[in-house]
């Protein structure tokens, strides 16, 4: 992965250290490295992949420095998967490379499209909402691609949208990260109690305003995908 320029990297560290709404004062800082991996298999092989991902997630959670691994199955597209990982530091993530390669080797005969892994830095991270059940949540992964000239303004829009969205009914998680080496590319990681809560959020006035303000900056279509957690 490419690395940010020194000034941007320092700024990301400052953002990661800030207390976000929903994160208790004195709580540990958010993980330093986030990774989202996408891949596809033939639809008839989806059940095999569910089993492999479940075992992978259980093993990964025991690794030193792992803060999260969530395996996701795209709603309505049975052969499409994503893995969301968070690591306390890059050394821990690098040490995980062998396990990730082993998973890829196991999946290779099933791949319609191989791993496409994106490494991210935290932009706005908060502790999960209390009382939720992330294992049963409706997840949403959204990639926001904007023209480089507008990246700072969009970063502000994204952070404001995240803070507003954390107040919505049924939200279990709403975080934003920025692609390492590509500061004009953002990822939103959401979890909702159910599809009804997610649709209500999508129709909320603050979401509509965010989408309208974002359009002039967009370098690609707003890429929003819904997922269920792999059991």
Evaluate whether residue 25 is within a structural domain.
yes
* Cα angle: 197, vertex 178, 13; to 5 degrees: 115
Evaluate whether residue 117 is within a structural domain.
yes
Is the confidence at residue 169, as pLDDT, over 80? yes
Evaluate whether residue 50 is within a structural domain.
yes
Evaluate whether residue 1 is within a structural domain.
no
Q: Which domain holds residue 21?
A: 6-229
| pLDDT higher at 64 or 132 | 64
Q: What is the CATH number of the domain that holds 70?
A: 3.30.70.100
CB 75 within 8 A of CB 226: yes
pLDDT in tens, 99-137: 999 999 999 999 999 999 999 999 999 987 655 566 679
Structural domain tally of the chain?
Answer: 1
Euclidean distance between CA atoms 32 and 67, whole angstroms: 10
Euclidean distance between CA atoms 48 and 72, whole angstroms: 14
Q: Which pLDDT band holds residue 25 (cuts at 50, 70, 90)?
A: very low
Is the confidence at residue 49, as pLDDT, over 90? yes
Euclidean distance between CA atoms 138 and 194, whole angstroms: 5
Phi, psi of 61 (to 5 degrees): -65, -20
SS3 107: helix
pLDDT in tens, 126-167: 987 655 566 679 999 999 999 999 999 999 999 999 999 999
- What's the burial of 51, exposed, middle or buried (CB within 10 Å: 0-12/13-18/19+)? exposed
Is the confidence at residue 6, as pLDDT, over 50? no
List Cβ neighbours of 130 (8 Å cut-off, separation of 6 or more).
Answer: none
- Give residue 76's Cα distance to chain centre: 19
Give me the pLDDT at residue 129, please. 63
In percent, the amount of the chain with pLDDT more than 70 equals: 85
| pTM attached to this predicted model | 0.86
């Amino acid at each position: 992965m490419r690395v940010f320029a020194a000034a941007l990297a320092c700024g990301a560290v400052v953002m990661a250290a800030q207390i976000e709404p929903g994160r208790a004062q004195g709580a540990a800082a958010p993980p330093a490295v986030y990774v989202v991996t996408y891949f596809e298999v033939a639809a008839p092989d989806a059940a095999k992949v569910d089993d492999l991902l479940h075992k992978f997630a259980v093993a990964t959670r025991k690794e030193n420095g792992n803060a999260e691994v969530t395996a996701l199955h795209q709603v309505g597209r049975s052969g499409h998967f994503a893995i969301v990982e968070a690591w306390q530091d890059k050394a821990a993530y690098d040490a995980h490379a062998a396990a990730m390669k082993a998973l890829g080797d196991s999946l290779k005969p099933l791949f319609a499209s191989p791993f496409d892994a994106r490494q991210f830095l935290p932009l706005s991270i908060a502790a999960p909402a209390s009382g939720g059940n992330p294992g049963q949540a409706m997840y949403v992964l959204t990639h926001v691609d904007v023209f480089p000239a507008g990246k700072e303004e969009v970063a502000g829009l994204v952070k404001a949208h995240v803070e507003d969205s954390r107040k919505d009914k049924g939200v279990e998680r709403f975080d934003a990260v920025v692609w390492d080496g590509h500061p004009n590319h953002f990822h939103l990681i959401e979890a909702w109690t159910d599809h009804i809560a997610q649709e209500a959020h999508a129709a909320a006035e603050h979401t509509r305003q965010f989408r309208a303000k974002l359009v002039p900056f967009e370098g690609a279509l707003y890429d929003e995908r819904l997922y269920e957690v792999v059991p």
